[in-house]
Amino acid sequence: MLGTKFWDRFIRQIKRNPGLIPLISFIGLGMGSAALYLLRLALRSPDVSWDRKNNPEPWNRLSPNDQYKFLAVSMDYKKLKKDRPDF
């Protein structure tokens, strides 16, 4: 019952003030983008270890050509060579 009152009031405000539609859209888009980026960080980042028994140090399994940054402007990871020892 409380949820229906909220949505009724929300729809009424949107009908009275149609200028709120872009504002609500951009806020929703920003929140969705932030949530997707946090999900990407949690699943693909080498700093996060979900399985401590089988892979306690995931950063050691990265090869030099693995791109784990979201955006690399001037770096070509395919041309990098291995310059560190194996552990």
- Per the structure, the count of domains in the chain is 1
Q: DSSP class of residue 6?
A: H
Residue numbers of the domain that contains 71: 10-77
Higher local confidence (pLDDT), 84 or 10:
10
In a domain, 55, yes or no: yes
Q: Mind listing the pLDDT tens digit for each residue in 21-52?
A: 999 999 999 999 999 999 988 887 766 777 77
In a domain, 41, yes or no: yes
Note the pLDDT of residue 30. 98
In a domain, 1, yes or no: no
Q: Mind listing the pLDDT tens digit for each residue in 41-83?
A: 888 776 677 777 777 776 667 666 666 666 666 666 666 666 6
Q: Residue 65: which of 75, 45, 80 has the closest Cα?
A: 80
In a domain, 60, yes or no: yes
Note the pLDDT of residue 18. 92
Average pLDDT of 12-24?
93
In a domain, 83, yes or no: no
